[in-house]
Amino acid sequence: MDGRARVIIEGVQPTVDGGAFPAKRVEGDVVVVEADIFADGHDLISAVLLHRHTSDKKPAETRMRALVNDRWRAELRVDKLGFYTFTIEAWIDHFLSWHRDLQKRAAADLEIQLRIGLEMIRAAATHAKGRDRKRLEHYIEIVEGDGDIADKVHAVRSDELLDLMWRHGERRFATRHACEYAIEVDRRAAAFSTWYELFPRSVGTFADVEAQLPRIAKMGFDVLYFPPIHPIGRTFRKGRNNSMLSTESDPGSPWAIAGHKDIHDTLGTMRDFTRLVARAKEHGVEIAMDIAFQTAPDHPYVREHPEWFLKRPDGSVQYAENPPKKYQDIYPFHFESDAWRELWEELLDVFRFWIDKGVRIFRVDNPHTKPLPFWHWVLNELKRDHPDLIFLAEAFTRPKIMYWLAKAGFTQSYTYFAWRNTKYELTEYFSEITKPPVSDFFRPNAWPNTPDILTEYLQYGGRPAFVIRLMLAATLSANYGIYGPAFERFVNAARDPGGEEYLDSEKYEVKHWGEADDDLSEMIALVNRVRRENPALQQNLTLKFHDTTNDDILCYSKSSGDNIVLAVVNVDPHNPQSGWIELDLDALNLDANRPFQVHELLSGARYTWHGPRNYVQLNPQVVPAHIFRIRRKVRTERDFEYFL
């Protein structure tokens, strides 16, 4: 520590847990870095953001600018996948302080002050080269010359001299912040993606799935997610509806995995799979694989590596359970085994195996039931070689664990959205997960249903409930997904009263969906097209909730430049609701004294609204939501009004 370094730097953002984890961004983002920077006395301060991509040897610097109350800011554009690091350096800028005070000096004091400035300019000239050095020498000549003092003062007060001194002036006793922070940069699909979950065995083979690609792409999905496609164990195989009794015709649960680097023989060959991955890309769709680190009792791991499993006193292997639930067809790995290092390496190799087959997106099953340090290690090992990977955490767990998994490297996470139904619940929850500090590391992926989750809202709300949840998921969150055919066709029969398991669940049997007389495919395609055409819906940071006079009507907006989208949703699937919405016009950058147009993107209708207070009525049996694009009125130089 040099006691002459007087500047204090604190309150740096964006940071996650004081720099223990990286903040998340996607390629092309502009990262706003801010910090509190101050010092004793009245001297002026200069500060720079020092930043580099980890592939660069030397950091670049960006000048920071002062805001108010000793807060400083700089902007950094991140264009490369991988990791950037940054820190901040600040110092007392004696030349800037001198320059500021020169105009306040009494005439009798100017000569000595010019000599003080001259010393600093000379020192800068010794560091400069080329034209910059010549220009600094020009100012030295002026100050040393025989000209009038007033002319000298006028000359050195130039903006050019300030710029030259910024580049070449001495930075004595600079303070560099003790911590170097990281920013993890993912590809754009990490921030904006639309998922469709499909059981391949219910379609047939990989070739049959390939035939479904045009339909899935037409609906606007860019990620096609498969539950496990591996061989399924036969020992303690589950029957229909999770029955302990199974027959020869029961296919078993795909999560009872009998080979993590193999494909179920009914689906096709590895060559068929890699062909499907390639064909999907031609349709603008990526295949996402499920990674479930558990085994069937007849998995080769059980025979070849018994040390990876926990033995009970009777010598049998401990199967998975969450009392009173029992999963006799699944063995969990014993991560406290003495052979834990070998286990970790093998599970890392499972990822690498499928990466070599062209997979770049993984949905990870129940990561919160495996050691958290394992995920931190394995995800960072994989991203070092493949920074384009995306990992979705199926982490329906406690908030702190869910958030830690995101900090540790998961790109996206499932959320509690499925159980947030009221205006209050949705407002509170999305206000938390879409704003810093949470949004610096956590990317929500909203799913209204999954093969494991059929909420009470969907069970009893009929078709309107499915439409409402579609509208909310697709507009509140930039990433969302559906458990495909079941959602499209309003499947809402629960196995047990008060439960969330599907009756005749596809987890335990092959479903033959066939053609449907009525489904949501056209509505889904329309909503996904709206998402693609409006950049405002492709991010979460600008989400803003607006007041309404009816607690069953939710109103919120998102904006990206001139693209402003306003959603109004009736969250009651049973009854028409009406009321007044109270828009925050400042947040929408609207003039309270001028009308504006709202273009309803689902129906194509256009309305002219005036001021913040506007009336809406929504019938869930028709369409329970409006998605408006706001088009502000502006005046051209020719005095011709038009809508942006």
Indicate if the pLDDT at residue 638 is higher than 80.
no
Helix (H) or strand (E) holding 555: strand 553-560
- Tokens 């009792």 correspond to 297
- Helix/strand/coil (H/E/C) assignment for every residue in 331-343: EECCCCCCCHHHH
> Which string of DSSP letters, residue by residue, matches 396-453?
-S-HHHHHHHHHHT-SEE--SGGG--SHHHHHHHHHHHTSTTGGGT--BEE-S-BTTB
Quick one: pLDDT at residue 415?
98
Q: pLDDT tens, 19-50? A: 999 999 999 999 999 999 999 999 999 999 99
- Indicate which residue of 210, 365, 440, 509 is catalytic: 365
SS3 of residue 597 by DSSP = strand
Torsion region of 604: left, alpha or beta (phi above 0 gives left; psi -120 to 50 gives alpha): left
Q: Are strands 445-446 and 325-327 parallel, antiparallel or unpaired?
A: unpaired
The average pLDDT across 153-172 equals 93
Q: Domain 194-529: which topology?
A: TIM Barrel (3.20.20)
Q: Where does the chain hold its CATH 3.20.20.80 domain(s)? A: 194-529
- DSSP state letter for 258: S
Share of the chain above pLDDT 70, in %: 98
What residue spans in the chain does CATH classification 2.60.40.1180 cover?
544-643
Please determine, for residue 639, whether its predicted confidence score (pLDDT) is greater than 50: no
188 near 26, Cβ under 8 Å?
yes
Six-digit token pair at 170? 């001495």
First-to-last alpha carbon distance for the chain, in angstroms, is: 56
Per-residue pLDDT reduced to its tens digit, 311-357: 999 989 999 988 888 889 999 999 999 999 999 999 999 999 999 99
**Residues 90-105: pLDDT tens digits?**
999 999 999 999 988 8
Is residue 406 within 8 A of residue 393, CB to CB? The reply is yes
Q: What is the CA radius of gyration of the chain?
A: 31
Residues in Cβ contact with 415 at an 8 Å cutoff, skipping those fewer than 6 apart: 429, 433, 444, 445, 446, 447, 477
Stretch 210-236: mean pLDDT:
97
Work out the pLDDT band at 310, boundaries 50, 70, 90.
very high
Q: Please list the residues that pair with 320 across neighbouring strands.
A: 327
Q: What is the mean pLDDT of residues 228-246?
A: 95
SS3 94: helix
Question: What is the helix, strand, coil percentage profile of the chain, to 5?
Answer: 35, 25, 40
Please check the confidence at residue 434 and state whether its pLDDT lies above 70: yes
How many angstroms separate the Cα of 348 from the Cα of each of 128, 295, 381, 387? 52, 16, 8, 15
Burial of residue 120 (number of CB atoms within 10 Å: 0-12, 13-18, 19+): middle
Catalytic residue among 298, 329, 394, 500: 394
566, amino acid identity: L
> How far apart are alpha carbons 563 and 458 in whole angstroms?
32
The predicted-structure confidence for 561-607, as pLDDT tens digits, reads as follows 999 999 999 999 999 999 999 999 999 999 999 999 999 999 999 99
153: amino acid identity, one letter: V
Task: Compute the distance between CA of residue 98 and CA of residue 117 in angstroms, rounded to an integer.
Answer: 7
Distance CA 349, CA 356 (A): 10
Task: pLDDT band for 633, please (50, 70, 90 cuts).
Answer: low
Give me the half-sphere count of Cα atoms (radius 13 Å) on the Cβ side of residue 532: 14
Neighbours of 281 (CB within 10 A): 14
Q: Where along the chain do the CATH 2.60.40.10 domains lie?
A: 8-185
The answer to whether residue 402 scores a pLDDT higher than 80 is yes
Report the pLDDT averaged over residues 491-509: 96
pLDDT at 230: 98
Q: What DSSP state is assigned to residue 198?
A: -
pLDDT the model gives residue 637:
43
What is the β-pairing status of strands 390-394 and 361-365?
parallel
DSSP string, 52-82: EETT-SS-EEEE-EE-STTEEEEEEE--SSE
CATH class given for the domain over 8-185 = mainly beta
Q: What is the pLDDT of residue 177?
A: 96
Which residue, 471, 449, 448, is CA-closest to 528?
471
Return the DSSP state at 352: H
Report the pLDDT value the prediction gives residue 49, as an integer from 0 to 100.
98
Helices 130-144, 110-127: inter-axial angle, 10-degree rounding = 160
Span 167-171, average pLDDT:
93
- Cα(105)–Cα(198) distance, integer angstroms: 77
Q: Is residue 439 over pLDDT 70?
A: yes
Homologous superfamily of domain range 544-643: Golgi alpha-mannosidase II (2.60.40.1180)
- pLDDT tier, 64 (very low <50, low <70, confident <90, very high otherwise): very high
Q: What is the pLDDT of residues 356-367, one digit of tens each?
A: 999 999 999 999
**pLDDT score recorded for residue 635:** 40
Indicate if 388 belongs to the active site.
no
Secondary element (H or E) of residue 50: strand 45-53
Q: How far apart are CA 576 and CA 463, in angstroms?
A: 14
Is residue 306 a contact partner of residue 393, using CB atoms and an 8 Å limit?
A: no
Active site residue 365: yes
* Across 200-209, 321-330, 468-477, 632-641, least confident range: 632-641
- Give the H or E element holding residue 303: helix 300-304
